[in-house]
Amino acid sequence: MGISRTADAVAAGHTGAAITVEGLAKHYGRSVAVEDVSFSVRSGAITGFFGPNGAGKTTVLKVVSGLARGSAGRVLVNGRETHARDAGTLGAFIEPCGAHPGRAARAHLRSLATMAGLPGARVSEVLALVGLEQDARRRVGRYSLGMRQRLGLAAALLADPDILVLDEPTNGLDPQGIRWLRTLLRERADSGRTVVLSSHSLTEAERLVDDVVVIHQGRIVHQAPMGAIAQGGSTLEDIFLNLTGGEDA
Ligand SMILES: Nc1ncnc2c1ncn2[C@@H]1O[C@H](COP(=O)(O)OP(=O)(O)OP(=O)(O)O)[C@@H](O)[C@H]1O
């Protein structure tokens, strides 16, 4: 995993990593959500971001996606520090999906496409891609959890971005949906694009991710290629429980 880069290399320009997070902190008033978070994400790989409830995964993914601002530190996307990520560079799905419950999925996606300057035909493409064609005219408020996940994914995929950031994307998906998502994400990575996802389903994620980042109590406690973890005879769950103090669970 192309992890720590020197400050000089980063200052000199693009390090080759799709995402570099350096010394990121996020405070809510006096409460510290994450502190001194640094890691990087390889281009063309699937990176899994793991941690117990409240560890800081969503907070970091929001800042990485430009949906929230950090209190300190910086995030480089393709070597550039910018708060407004353009849709073709990075697409994110972090709940809530932002669709008005009274709106049809197709109308929601159409507005997003218009705002991003994308052709209307792309809406039908992503609806087909996520398997929501038949339900595209239904109100989002009547969607199941899995259908909302698929809609969120459709929105993230609209501009066919180089980098996909997904917060617990398998939540609510049925087994067919999980397999479909695994294939979709693997194909994207194999074609040189980048995926970052968080998940609590460690057994599931073990089959999918190339690189592992573990966050605990707002700080990064581990980063390694999945292959190295497996070679060491450990499972992702072993590593996770050891690092997050849950080995007695
Ligand atoms: N808007 C907010 N205001 C105040 N504190 C917040 C806010 N959002 C998150 N936090 C706090 O930041 C910390 C990290 O939360 P975050 O949602 O990033 O964790 P997480 O790892 O995604 O958790 P989970 O696995 O439960 O989704 C928690 O202590 C949470 O209470």
Domains and CATH numbers, the chain: 7-89+162-243 (3.40.50.300), 100-160 (no CATH)
Tell me: the pLDDT tens digits for 38-73?
Answer: 999 999 999 999 999 999 999 999 999 998 999 999
- Which pLDDT value is given to residue 125? 96
Q: Is the ipTM of this complex over 0.90?
A: yes
- Which pLDDT value is given to residue 247? 55
Tell me: the pLDDT tens digits for 146-162?
Answer: 999 999 999 999 999 99
Could you tell me if the CB of 37 is within 6 A of ligand 1?
no
Greatest Cα pair distance, the chain, in angstroms, is 53
Closest CA to 39 of 54, 53, 9, 18: 18
**Rounded distance from Cα 218 to ligand 1 centre (Å):** 9
- Which pLDDT value is given to residue 220? 97
pTM of the model: 0.90
Tell me: the pLDDT tens digits for 64-106?
Answer: 999 899 999 999 998 888 766 777 889 999 987 778 888 999 9
Tell me: the pLDDT tens digits for 13-24?
Answer: 455 799 999 999
CA 193 distance to own-chain centroid? 13
Exposure pattern of 37-56 as b/e (b: 16+ CB <10 Å)? bbbbbbbebbbbbbbbeebb
Lowest mean pLDDT among 94-98, 134-138, 182-186, 202-206: 94-98
Strand partners of residue 90: 163
Residue from 21, 26, 27, 28 to probe ligand 1 pocket by mutation (most atoms less than 8 Å from CB)? 28
Q: How confident is the model at residue 114 (pLDDT cuts 50, 70, 90)?
A: very high
Is the pLDDT at 249 greater than 70? The verdict is no
Closest CA to 18 of 38, 45, 49, 54: 45
Could you tell me if the CB of 59 is within 6 A of ligand 1?
yes
**Rounded distance from Cα 200 to ligand 1 centre (Å):** 15
Could you tell me if the CB of 27 is within 6 A of ligand 1?
no
Could you tell me if the CB of 64 is within 6 A of ligand 1?
no
Could you tell me if the CB of 62 is within 6 A of ligand 1?
no
